[in-house]
Amino acid sequence: MKKLAAIILCIAGCVATASAQTNKVSSVVLSSQNGEAVSGASVTVTGSNISTTTDMNGRFSIEAPAQYKTLTISHNNYQPSTMNILPDPIVMHPAKRFLEGWGIELGYASSTVGYDSDDFDDFDDEDVSRRGGFTIGITYDYPIAAVNNLSVMGGLFYLSKGVSSTEYDSYDDEYYTEEFYANYLELQATAKYQYNLPVLNNELNAFALAGPYLAYGIGGDYTDDYDGYKESIFDECLDRWDAGLVLGLGLNYRNYSLTFRYDMGLVDITSYDGKVYNRTCMFTLGYSF
């Protein structure tokens, strides 16, 4: 009924002022973010100096000469809008903030390897453990306008991968440890689907991630404490390039997020006859701007 009344009012105004070659427009300005009225917005007949301001309920009335066909609506907190002269509500979108969509994540990465090789069969007799280390990343979340709750999240992360293994030497009757320690820059491109949870004033969301990653090794060492041997891991042991699939789950509350990611390497990272693949778990805390 309110919409019908507004249409009738606008039509009546246009008819009443037709002889004066003006159109009287009465409407309301709403926020696309929450549907609330936008007060204090400037409404101008585009191309003229005729203007007015919305009241505390977002409503306005303005008389536009018949030759002018659009209104320009502006507000400090919203993107300017240019609309046809219609009685329908005018919806404004929040202004883009500097760094909007960008974020930063800090956390911990725990890594091991999967292997399919006779060269690594002796791992079965060793105590192989994960390597852990610090990780940091910059992310960008780009919403897909055509699909609600779907976005593309890109990220560039610094993280550590590798394993340590302890082997018993029966000849010397002692254990020695080998360390495979590699640092990577990893580029991720994941689809992100977000679902609102009906708690904490509907500001808590769960999300899932899936997509490919591409990584490049920038440093690291292989060490053997049996004889103190040490060398660059990318000179002899591993190839620098790595690629695979990222799967993830997380929660975000307002600007904060908690994310778990699993990297499943799909590329053989060794120069040996066998095949070795990276497997990494990432736990991060994030903040989006």
Q: What is the pLDDT of residues 197-206, one digit of tens each?
A: 988 888 899 9
| pLDDT given for residue 67 in this prediction | 83
In the numeric block, the tokens 């306008």 are attached to 145
Whether the CB-CB separation of 60 and 26 falls below 8 Å is answered with yes
H helices of 98-211, in order, are none
Whether the CB-CB separation of 83 and 102 falls below 8 Å is answered with no
| pLDDT given for residue 280 in this prediction | 95
> Architecture of domain 102-288 in CATH?
Beta Barrel (2.40)
For 12-63, how does the pLDDT look when each residue is reduced to its tens digit (9 = 90+)? 333 334 435 788 888 889 888 788 889 999 999 998 999 999 999 999 999 8
Rounded to 5°, angle at Cα 242 from 241 and 247:
155
Two tokens, residue 210: 């899936």
User: What is the rounded CA–CA span in Å between residue 153 and residue 191?
Assistant: 6
| pLDDT given for residue 9 in this prediction | 31
| pLDDT given for residue 86 in this prediction | 60
User: What is the rounded CA–CA span in Å between residue 190 and residue 6?
Assistant: 45
Domain extent listing, the chain: 2-92, 102-288
Rounded to 5°, angle at Cα 241 from 236 and 245:
130
SS3 10: helix
Q: Is the pLDDT of residue 121 over 70?
A: no
User: What is the rounded CA–CA span in Å between residue 267 and residue 270?
Assistant: 9
| pLDDT given for residue 15 in this prediction | 32
In CATH, the number for domain 2-92 is 2.60.40.1120
Whether the CB-CB separation of 262 and 241 falls below 8 Å is answered with no
Whether the CB-CB separation of 128 and 165 falls below 8 Å is answered with yes
The beta strand positions in 85-203, using DSSP E, are: 90-92, 102-116, 127-143, 150-169, 174-197
The more confident residue out of 90 and 241 is 241
40-to-6, 10, 53, 60, 281 alpha-carbon distances in Å: 21, 22, 6, 10, 50
Alpha-carbon 182 to chain mean position = 26
The more confident residue out of 184 and 117 is 184
Read out DSSP for 185-222?
Answer: EEEEEEEEEEEEES-GGGTEEEEEEEEEEEEEEEEEEE
Range with top average pLDDT, 4-18, 107-121, 154-168, 211-225: 211-225
